[in-house]
Structure 1
Amino acid sequence: MTHIDTQPHIGKIILGETVRTLSEINHNATRAAQGLKQLGMGTGDVIALLLRNDFSLFEASFAANLLGALVVPINWHASADEVDYILRDSGARILVAHTDLYNRLEQPSLPGLDLLLVDTPEAIKQAFRIPDAIAKSSEQAFLWDQWLENFPPLQDHPQTSGGSMIYTSGTTGRPKGVRRPPLTKEQMPRAMAMACAMYGFQPDQPATTVITGPMYHSGPNGYGLLAARLNATIVLQPRFNETELLQLIEKHAVTHLHMVPTMFIRLLRLAKEIRMKYDLSSLVWVAHGAAPCPPGVKELMIDWWGPVINEYYGSTETGGITVQTSKDASRKPGSVGRAIEGVDIRIFDDNGQQQDAGITGKIYIRTNAFGDFDYHGKSQDRREISQGDFVWVGDIGYLDEEGFLYLCDRRKDIINSGGVNIYSAEVEAAILDMPGIEDCAVFGIPDDDLGEVVCSHITLIPSAKVTPDQVTDFVRTRLGRMKAPATVVVEDELPRQESGKIFKSKLRAPYWQDRTRNI
């Protein structure tokens, strides 16, 4: 969707002490588009962004849209090898990068790759404690803001936007680029309606939001760019801090947020006097997704913030799939909601047979909001997830009689113990119901007799005293002996991606390192 600023109120983006109106952002985007065009960029070409949340991310994204080009946001936690792989695999012609992120790379020398560097803003340097020496450019490259000054605004541009190519997390092997074509005129209003259903925006009502997560991830990326297209006021929080978020909500009268469950957990850890100190009454819609939210955590957040907590389920491949409101959460705990208008959900078994309500199987999705996608350069992988015009993105679950969707697991997270499939998400839900448990991750570890047995790493709420044996006994009572963890490890903190997903691969790896297989 090409951004056109037609709203009467003045939208803006705030980063630290710096404010830039969306009119200025759009003007810079048209100048950047003209500059990119002179560098040879056009419809279908690829521009890669190695940027934290900054004005330049919005400007470069909108500039690419104006040219009909594809935008590839790169995870700035990625290794130099992973960044190099994405640049090569995507066929990027231009890389726009923050100076400190670029300086940490084994700087790529790809034929035909032009480099545009962005001075790392002071607010980001302070949040991440980045030394000035790393944040300064040592390359003979254009600097974004100065480079823009060389070009007049682009006058002619395509009527449709560029598409996108966001790389999946790649927990099993190299990440895949999910390449999506530009929206057609018919799809644009459907995509807008889907996004507004997920994120709670109303196109005709002003909104103020804080971007709490990194915009290399598909959720915050779609959320942040949509907020800008709707001329919202956007506060960029360089790095999530729970107390600072409460301060920002009160200071800016924030109406909308996009969060992940780990942020809820950190907020709930705050002392009661801090939680009660700030006025949060401006909040209208708090969307959360990316990772399962323990029902108890959601209940506590609704008790604190009111019925503004709304979960969505989606994927990079399909976009939004379901929404569950606060009201539904109390009636259907554990569900991720019902299908958004225009989305069709079917449950199939391994033989392609559609399953009845209550029967667990593969979750297949069809949507009318987007055109088809492909995995860039991996057509066989794309074909393998198709069932007619439905696609499967790896999740297992079921629909109840009212059409509410329940997630049981990721296929790759199913534990096969003695030939019995154990859903790690089911065991996690049981553990999270145990008093004293704050967070947990469940996965399979090797066993010479059964092949795999259940292992859980947990964190405890402050002052709680829970032993591994107590956890095992609790789950055995709830779910039976086979599903009870054989190993329980108490951690100070579980490793999580910025998106909120637990790095199970990091927890799992030590158990499998001397094995010839890892599942």
Structure 2
Amino acid sequence: MTATTYGEALARHAAERPAQIAVRFQDRTCDYAELDRRANRIARAFVAAGCEPGARIAYVGKNSDRTVELIAGAARANVVLVPIIWRLAPAEIMTIIRDCEAAMLFVEDAFINVADGFDGPVVQMETGFDDWRDAQADTPLGIAVSPDDVLLQLYTSGTTGTPKGVMLTHANGTATRKRLKKEGIYWYAPDAGDTGILAMPYGHIAGIGMALNGLLSGMEVIVHAEFDPLLTMTDIARHQVKWIFLVPAALRIMLAHPEADRADFSSVRGLTYGASPIPLDLLKEGVERLKCGFAQLYGLTETFGTVVTLSPEDHLPGREHTLRSAGQALPGMELRILGEDLEALGANETGEIAIRGPAIMAGYWKREEETARVMLDGGWFRTGDAGYLDEDGYLFIQDRIKDMIVSGGENVYPAEVESALYGHPAIADVAVIGVPDDAWGEAVKAVVVRKPGTDLQAGDVIAYARERIAGFKCPKSVDFIAELPRNPSGKILRRTLREPYWAGRDRQVN
């Protein structure tokens, strides 16, 4: 029987394979028996700090073995981990810490400055975490944890630019595993003892999701602080890695590395990719050079990651048509295309993609109106992405209704960038759009109206943004125009702005 909570899954693997390595980071390893004991100590430490079930625990920093322990302990204590992307600006990080009402803050030592202004307990990961953890006994607490309890709260900005906390439960991640195994979705439900690399940021579902999939599956998870192409290739050969997840930009960087031609990828059974569309030429190069199965993953933070997959079989020669799709719904998940009236459309009709199934979030943290806007009767979640389903149930993504930009696997919301730029004394008006970029999929472009009598330059705009928001959100280029196109109600016509840059392309994502 499949475990229904992550704490239960860890306990089973500790009993069945106690000496198997669970987590490897740099020169440190931790087997399943020890990880189980550490999770118990961490759970007790949360209780000793006064954290009740449902309390939010924030983390700022890169990936490490201690971050995997942190989510394991949170699962045992029935508290909610809020991992925050370390690349955000300090003000953005503090906004999230305050919004989630964090009871404690865990921070990598290099980012300790973000703790300024936080009134609760702060634990520094390198210099304080081990002592904090090991001051407790490693016997189980016996705290009741339900599959429907929230385990994870990840923040995603919306079209308003205001970060929203996506509440994800144990069941969102565990409920479909039995069907995945039964129906042979091996690339998303690996076996116990398999080895995989966690290199994506912990504040993304692709990052922490790998850690959780490892706990659920009984894998050995090799943790990298962040993506490093040479380290990835070295560890693949050194530890006979079977599974890798990379965003397309990271795959491109790895294949372009000088050592890539000499790298040994023979142990790799499968590479999964997602977070942004992949150029067909890059996909073909990856398949040829790695000589393993490739599988595409599509999902959102609100769906605990993957809900649609394009199988390795669909990447074989002769399946070029399916390579343009995101794939088919995972077992247990359903897809529907909605028209403007929110009624279901037929095959090959483009509309808003809606998803239903056990992976759908519990809602947005203290945002009832925004939750109600995306959750329809019958359990359907509105993704904000536009696409169509063909007669065989393959999903083809066409555009992003929410205007979101995906650059190198990072989500960038125009309203958030525009808000940061509007304060510049020489900017009269501004719109932000995504434009095609060969390296990153899309690049952020600002379209600016200068105030009369000013001589604002592109470099001034970019420098101003860099002082206020994370680097990956900053415009990479700036165009100047006399007036922004708007509809009668004053809304910026982004599609009109985008059209010249996307001319000649058959879909509005790259």
- Please say whether Structure 1 and Structure 2 have the same fold, judged by a TM-score greater than 0.5: yes
Local SS of the residue matching 1:176: strand
Local SS of the residue matching 1:395: strand
Alpha-carbon contact 2:191-2:218 (below 8 Å) kept: no
2:141 is the counterpart of 1:151: no
Cα distance change, pair 212–180 in 1 and its aligned pair in 2 (3 A): closer
Pairing partner for 2:297 from 312, 328, 350:
312
Q: State how 1:460-479 maps to structure 2 within 5 Å.
A: none
Which whole-Å deviations, capped at 9, do the CAs of 1:274-308 have from their partners, x for residues lacking one?
A: 33323211111211111111122111111112241
Local SS of the residue matching 1:350: coil
Alpha-carbon contact 2:364-2:370 (below 8 Å) kept: yes
Alpha-carbon contact 2:43-2:141 (below 8 Å) kept: no
Q: TM-score, with normalisation over the residues of structure 1? A: 0.73
The aligned residue for residue 78 of structure 1 is 88
2:72 is the counterpart of 1:46: no
Rounded to whole Å, the distance in 1 between the matches of 2:396 and 2:162 is 29
Rounded to whole Å, the distance in 1 between the matches of 2:79 and 2:123 is 16
2:211 is the counterpart of 1:224: yes
**Which amino acid in 1 is paired with 2:314?**
D
2:118 is the counterpart of 1:109: yes
Which whole-Å deviations, capped at 9, do the CAs of 1:3-42 have from their partners, x for residues lacking one?
A: 2223336123222222222322221121111111011112
Tell me how many residue pairs correspond in the alignment: 422
Q: TM-score, with normalisation over the residues of structure 2? A: 0.74
**Which amino acid in 2 is paired with 1:115?**
V
Alpha-carbon contact 1:198-1:312 (below 8 Å) kept: no
Cα distance change, pair 80–459 in 1 and its aligned pair in 2 (3 A): same
Q: How far apart are residue 240 of structure 1 and its match?
A: 1.8
Rounded to whole Å, the distance in 2 between the matches of 1:174 and 1:517 is 18
Rounded to whole Å, the distance in 2 between the matches of 1:156 and 1:252 is 36
The aligned residue for residue 367 of structure 1 is 357
Rounded to whole Å, the distance in 2 between the matches of 1:178 and 1:172 is 15
The aligned residue for residue 190 of structure 1 is 176
Alpha-carbon contact 2:190-2:219 (below 8 Å) kept: no
Alpha-carbon contact 1:199-1:223 (below 8 Å) kept: no
2:37 is the counterpart of 1:27: yes
Alpha-carbon contact 2:20-2:193 (below 8 Å) kept: no
2:150 is the counterpart of 1:165: no
The aligned residue for residue 252 of structure 1 is 239
Alpha-carbon contact 1:14-1:234 (below 8 Å) kept: yes
Alpha-carbon contact 1:56-1:118 (below 8 Å) kept: yes
Rounded to whole Å, the distance in 1 between the matches of 2:188 and 2:68 is 19
The aligned residue for residue 193 of structure 2 is 206
Rounded to whole Å, the distance in 2 between the matches of 1:220 and 1:513 is 42
Alpha-carbon contact 2:24-2:223 (below 8 Å) kept: yes
Q: State how 1:355-434 maps to structure 2 within 5 Å.
A: 355-369=345-359, 373-388=362-377, 389-413=379-403
Which whole-Å deviations, capped at 9, do the CAs of 1:445-491 have from their partners, x for residues lacking one?
A: x9xxxx99998454479xxxxxxxxxxxxxxxxxxxxxxxxxxx9xx
Question: Which stretch has the larger CA shift, 200-209 or 339-348?
Answer: 200-209
Cα distance change, pair 460–292 in 1 and its aligned pair in 2 (3 A): closer
**Which amino acid in 1 is paired with 2:117?**
P
The aligned residue for residue 118 of structure 1 is 125
Local SS of the residue matching 1:291: coil
Q: How far apart are residue 194 of structure 1 and its match?
A: 5.2
Cα distance change, pair 258–95 in 1 and its aligned pair in 2 (3 A): same
Alpha-carbon contact 1:256-1:285 (below 8 Å) kept: yes
Rounded to whole Å, the distance in 1 between the matches of 2:61 and 2:215 is 17
Rounded to whole Å, the distance in 2 between the matches of 1:301 and 1:96 is 37
The aligned residue for residue 351 of structure 1 is 341
Alpha-carbon contact 2:195-2:241 (below 8 Å) kept: yes
Cα distance change, pair 230–382 in 1 and its aligned pair in 2 (3 A): same
Local SS of the residue matching 1:322: strand
The aligned residue for residue 322 of structure 1 is 308
2:257 is the counterpart of 1:270: yes
Which whole-Å deviations, capped at 9, do the CAs of 1:397-425 have from their partners, x for residues lacking one?
A: 001111100111111339xxxxxxxxx99
Identity %: 22
**Which amino acid in 1 is paired with 2:233?**
L
Q: How far apart are residue 249 of structure 1 and its match?
A: 0.6
Q: How far apart are residue 267 of structure 1 and its match?
A: 2.2
Cα distance change, pair 382–259 in 1 and its aligned pair in 2 (3 A): same
Q: How far apart are residue 383 of structure 1 and its match?
A: 1.2
Q: How far apart are residue 170 of structure 1 and its match?
A: 4.8
Alpha-carbon contact 1:201-1:207 (below 8 Å) kept: no
Rounded to whole Å, the distance in 2 between the matches of 1:170 and 1:195 is 34
